[in-house]
Amino acid sequence: MQLDRIELADIHAPKRLARAVHDQIGTLNSPVMIPGPVPVMEIARALDIAEVRIGGFDGFEGMLLTDVVRSCGAILANNKHGDRRARFTIAHELGHFLLERHVPTDPKGFACKVADLRETRTGQWHRRQESEANTFAIELLAPPALFDRYLSDAPDIKDALQARDGLDLSLEACLRRMLERRDEPLALVFSHEGRVRYVIRDNGLPYLPLNKGDPIPSATPASIKIRQGRVGISEPGPNVARAWFDKADFDLHEQTRLADNGHAVTLLWSDLPVEAEDDDGAPPELGVPRFR
């Protein structure tokens, strides 16, 4: 694979940068889509990453070793959480390498923890550049032209499972991508043994009053499924919104997948009006002045 890194210079928005990479590959403009997962290791090597090493590392999820001017680099990706997770980590570190305004977090380059690879907040410099690297990674590995073909007419966790297998990504990454790509007001509640790990929502669904470590509300079908240990995916169905939200007066649908290791994800969605989005849904570019 041959790519021209010069053509990517001065692109500071992560979505546009990922699209520019795909433009060079030519897959998204071709009438025949690529038959499988995006070849992230080949892309990284074609863009001056001299080495990609995958292994069971301690203390970090991903690391980019590079010099000040980013003439070349090496990427280390932790696979303790699986090879699919490592693919996302490689793309995340490649984002740091290509997004020239990103400031190294380590004397040798960038060292990223597990939380960095889920970051979406943009309030601080470190959070913003981790969020941008995540945006680049998912746009590279699951661009709309490849991902949207897995989406059904209505929200369904099974769609994310099919995308997971087709694009060789983790289920969590595919669920979060589904949240971004659907128009309905959605939320995802990730839990372990009946207690919340984290919650994300989009498109106008009200705030969920749940914090890390809180139990899944006992009156919900999700809580019943988890307590009974019914491994698998429930069929999407309506639920009383008050079981999840304080003073709710809208219809809510719910679906839960429980794995045999106690991890679960609950998908919530509603027919509420969708909030307006900004131009391309990307976080503000680093180094670009903003007016109050």
pLDDT, mean of residues 3-30: 89
Same domain, residue pair 130 and 213? no
Q: Which pLDDT band holds residue 185 (cuts at 50, 70, 90)?
A: very high
- What distances in angstroms separate CA 262 from CA 160, 168, 217, 229, one per listed residue? 19, 22, 16, 8
41 and 142 in a single domain? The answer is yes
238-258 average pLDDT score: 86
In a domain, residue 155? The reply is no
For range 5-34, the mean pLDDT: 84
The answer on 106 and 199 residing in a single domain is no
CATH number of the domain where residue 249 is located: 3.30.450
What does the alpha-carbon distance between residue 288 and residue 292 come to, in Å, rounded to a whole number? 13
The predicted pLDDT at position 240 comes to 76
| CATH number, domain containing residue 99 | 1.10.10
Q: Are the C-beta atoms of residues 46 and 2 closer than 8 Å to each other?
A: yes
* Category of 26 on φ-ψ map: left (φ > 0), alpha (ψ -120 to 50) or beta: left
Q: Is the confidence at residue 280, as pLDDT, over 70? A: no
Token representation of residue 96: 């740091």
**In angstroms, rounded to a whole number, what is the distance separating the alpha carbons of residues 29 and 34?**
11
pLDDT at residue number 290:
34
pLDDT band at residue 277 under the 50/70/90 scheme: very low
Mean pLDDT of the chain: 88
Is 166 within a domain? no
Point out the domain boundary residue: 125, 146, 167. Answer: 146
Q: Which residue shows structure tokens 């740091």?
A: 96
Is the domain of 137 the same as that of 188? Answer: no
What is the 3-class SS of the chain, one letter each residue? CCCCHHHHCCCCCHHHHHHHHHHHHCCCCCCCCCCCCCCHHHHHHHCCEEEEEEECCCCCCEEEEECCCCCCEEEEEECCCCHHHHHHHHHHHHHHHHCCCCCCCECCEEEECCHHHHCCCCCCHHHHHHHHHHHHHHHHHCCHHHHHHHCCCCCCHHHHHHHHHHHCCCHHHHHHHHHHHCCCCEEEEEEECCEEEEEEEECCCCCCCCCCCCECCCCCHHHHHHHHCCCEECCCEEEEHHHCCCCCCCEEEEEEEECCCCEEEEEEEECCCCCCCCCCCCCCCCCCCCCC
> Are 121 and 195 part of one and the same domain?
no
Specify whether the CB–CB gap between 67 and 254 falls below 8 A.
Answer: no
Whether residues 129 and 15 share a domain: the answer is yes
- Same domain (yes/no): 188, 142: no
59 in any annotated domain: yes
Separation between Cα atoms, residue 234 and residue 224, nearest integer Å:
11
Task: Please state the rounded mean pLDDT for residues 2-6.
Answer: 93
pLDDT, average across residues 48-52: 96
Amino acid at 133: A
Given 123, 146, 169, which residue is the final one in a domain? 146
Q: Are 213 and 138 contained in the same domain?
A: no
> For the segment 51-72, what is each residue's pLDDT rounded down to a tens digit?
999 999 988 999 999 988 889 9
In a domain, 175, yes or no: no
Number of separate domains in the chain: 2
Average pLDDT of span 38-48: 96
Residues linked to residue 110 through DSSP beta bridges, in sequence order: 64
The reply to whether 9 and 142 lie within a common domain is yes
Q: Are residues 81 and 194 in the same domain?
A: no
pTM of the model: 0.85
**Does one domain contain both 213 and 132?**
no
Enclosing domain of residue 68 = 5-146
Question: Which pair of tokens denotes residue 2?
Answer: 């041959």
Identity of residue 166: G
Q: Which residues of 263-278 are buried (b: 16+ CB within 10 A; e: fewer)?
A: ebbbbbbbebeeeeee
Q: Is residue 290 part of a domain?
A: no
18 and 97 share one domain: yes
The verdict on residue 281 lying in a domain is: no
Q: 113 in a domain, yes or no?
A: yes
Residue 163, domain member (yes or no): no
- Do residues 91 and 169 lie in contact, with contact meaning Cβ atoms separated by under 8 Å? no
Phi and psi, residue 215, nearest 5°: -70, 150
**Confidence class for position 238, pLDDT limits 50, 70, 90:** confident
Sequence-distant contacts of 272-279: CB under 8 A, at least 24 apart: 272/185, 272/204, 272/205, 273/204, 274/183, 274/184, 274/185, 274/203, 274/204, 275/185, 275/203, 275/204
Range name among 14-18, 35-39, 156-160 with the lowest pLDDT average: 35-39
